Amino acid sequence: MQLAGMASNRGRNLLHMADTAPGGATFSVIISNEEGAPVIESATERGIPTEVVERDPEETREEHEQRIVDRLESYDVDLICLDGYMRILTETFLDATPTTLNVHPSLLPSFPGMDAHEQVLEAGVSVTGCTVHVVDETVDGGPIVTQEPVPVYEGDDTGDLKERVLQEAEFSAYPRAVKWFVENRVTVDDGAVSVDGDGAGQFPARRFGSDDRGRELRYGENPHQEAAVYVDTGSSAASVVDADQLNEGAKALSYNNYNDADAALSLISEFDDPAAAVIKHTNPAGCATGDSLAAAYDDALSTDPMSAFGGIVALNRECDAATAEEITNSFKEVVVAPGYTDAALDVLFGKDNLRVLDVGSEADLSVGTDPLVESDLVGGRLVQERDTQSITPDDLEVVTERKPTDAQLGTMCFAWRTIKHVKSNAILLADGTETVGVGMGQVSRVDAVRLAAMKADEHAEGKDSEGAVMASDAFFPFPDGIEEAADAGIEAVVQPGGSVNDEDVIAAANDRDLAMAFTGQRAFKH
């Protein structure tokens, strides 16, 4: 798509679009009505043809616009973009040219016309932004294509506001609108604009968010990084962000504490039976369910007590005194639970700087977590559905000559729920409903097997890899991972399947008398 730009001054939006080419759109010409307008020099530096069409004193608006129309006839133009073009256009121009867009520095219909930023500050509003609209003969009254909000902060002046609106609103909204036109998604009909796909849904064409700063943190991941935590007040899920810290005298949570506590809470929310998990660097050092919360915690901790040192504990039941006693027997940073008995609090408060977080009732955990997860990128954000898969024995496809026992099938299901929360590449060893060894974050799957087996045999207390069930978050590309598992004494494997070498992997399992089942879906977590 070929664009024509029109500006009276700097034309920063036009230059930004020239540099970014939204949807592949390029400028065939930039026109100014002011001799010496900075946009002309900037456009020339970018190799964009320019025209200057000033209005003569004796000339009517219509006559001036006709001269611009005549100049435009020399260029291929599919869409016209105004940027600070200080003239109201008439039907002489609008009827003779393609659709014309303008960006206005406010959320129309509020604050139209000149001095929008001054009007915003005088009105005392907390949110402003910009509006991209189709130009008609009214002042900022054409049909709206898109808008982008930005906050107004206490102490802002017009300069602060102008720059924020430009950088955070106009530089997003204007290219978005142009890209929609390039994609033929915009229909302008009888004073109304519609955009294909710009509707509600899980992944709408536009996403807006408004988070309030909860608190500034001592530092980020490292002491030289500043940090803060923001609160999504629209979320109804149980969350560590707005959890009550019951021992107010203890130091506040750090950036890393929040990350780990969130990961721990997400993991134990998987289970209906009493469950406990110990998290270190967002990975489970151990996880288990049991007949009691204290038993579950003991089994989780015994998976890797060395790695659990200084970790985060999460519980899916009200914490009782017996569990609290177990927790305080070794150094932990944070405990997260849906409530505490008074006796448990007496025990936990006896540990200096053990942060005690209450995330609400057990019923709150059953509500589930936010349906989407997000990850920031430089210049954007990834958004995906949360991995809520949960398998039963009936979902498993047994592919080996040896069949898993009913107990092994149950362990496979427990292991699959847990491995979803281990960083890939991930291998998890389990026995019953407790972890035995965890190999996480390896670039080689066979190395993840070796790591899990090593941890089980060298770090676990009262358990090892002999007779364990192994879960893999993705398929085995070669038989070597299965061979390593057999050497470690593992007797059953659950994995997604789907490798081009599945037959070789199955053959290796049969040769070593392992039972193996496929889930048909992987469980990556990066």
The three-state DSSP-derived secondary structure of 23-87 is HHCEEEEEEECCCCCHHHHHHHHCCCCEEECCCCCCCCHHHHHHHHHHHHCCCCCCEEEEECCCC
Whole-angstrom Cα distance, residue 438 to residue 429?
A: 6
Rounded distance between C-alpha atoms, residue 250 and residue 350, angstroms: 11
Each as own residue / partner, the long-range contacts of residues 70-73 (CB below 8 Å, 24 or more positions apart, any chain) are: 71/29, 71/31, 72/4, 72/29, 72/31, 72/97
Active site residue 459: no
Angstrom distances, CA of residue 518 to CA of 189, 280, 283, 416, 418: 54, 29, 24, 11, 16
Can you identify the CATH homologous superfamily of domain 2-195?
Formyl transferase, N-terminal domain (3.40.50.170)
Distances (CA, A) of 76 to 8, 32, 98, 136, 417: 22, 17, 11, 22, 58
Q: Where are the beta strands (DSSP E) in 255-379?
A: 275-280, 283-289, 311-315, 332-337, 355-358, 372-377
| d(C-alpha 51, C-alpha 225), whole Å | 48
The CATH class given to the 393-518 domain equals: alpha beta
Give CA–CA dist 219/127, Å, rounded: 29
Pairwise CA distance, residues 265 & 326, whole Å: 19
Q: List, in order, residues 6 or more apart from 58 with CB less than 8 Å away.
A: none
- Integer CA distances (angstroms), 369 to 123, 180, 229, 244, in order: 39, 33, 18, 18
480-487 and 445-458 helices, crossing angle to 10°: 10
Q: Annotated catalytic residue: which of 104, 117, 421, 459? A: 104
* 176-195 pLDDT per residue, tens: 999 999 999 999 887 788 88
Alpha helices in 354-501 (DSSP H): 362-366, 406-419, 445-458, 480-487
Residue 359 · residue 257 · CB < 8 Å:
no
Per-residue pLDDT of the chain (526 residues; tens, 9 = 90+): 999 999 999 999 999 999 999 999 999 999 999 999 999 999 999 999 999 999 999 999 999 999 999 999 999 999 999 999 988 899 999 999 999 999 999 999 999 998 999 999 999 999 999 999 999 999 888 999 999 999 999 999 999 999 999 999 999 999 999 999 999 999 988 778 888 877 767 777 777 766 778 889 999 999 999 999 988 876 777 889 888 899 888 888 999 999 999 999 999 999 999 999 999 999 999 999 999 999 999 999 999 999 999 999 999 999 999 999 999 999 999 999 999 999 999 999 999 889 999 998 876 776 667 788 888 888 888 888 889 889 999 999 999 999 999 999 999 999 999 999 999 999 999 999 999 999 999 999 999 999 999 999 999 999 999 999 999 999 999 999 999 999 999 999 999 999 999 999 999 999 999 999 999 999 999 8
Strand partners, 52: 32
Q: What is the pLDDT of residues 240-260, one digit of tens each?
A: 988 889 988 888 899 999 999
Domain range 212-366, CATH architecture: 3-Layer(aba) Sandwich (3.40)
- The pLDDT value given to residue 381: 83
- The C-alpha atoms of residue 393 and residue 391 are separated, in whole angstroms, by 7
Adjacent-strand bridge partners of 31:
6, 51
pTM given for the model? 0.78
| Preceding amide of 257 cis, omega within 30 | no
pLDDT digits (tens, 9 = 90+) for 359-377: 988 767 766 677 888 888 8
Which residues is 278 bridged to in the sheet? Answer: 286, 313
Length of the chain: 526
Q: Do 212-366 and 393-518 fold alike per CATH?
A: yes
Rounded CA separation 100/81 (Å): 6
DSSP annotation of 13 reads: H
Which pLDDT tens digit goes with each residue over 316-361?
999 999 999 999 999 999 999 999 999 999 999 999 889 999 998 8
The verdict on whether omega for the bond into residue 109 sits within 30 degrees of 0, i.e. cis, is: yes
Domain boundaries, the chain: 2-195, 212-366, 393-518
Pair 425, 443: CB distance under 8 Å: yes
- Quickly count: other Cβ atoms within 10 Å of residue 199's Cβ: 10
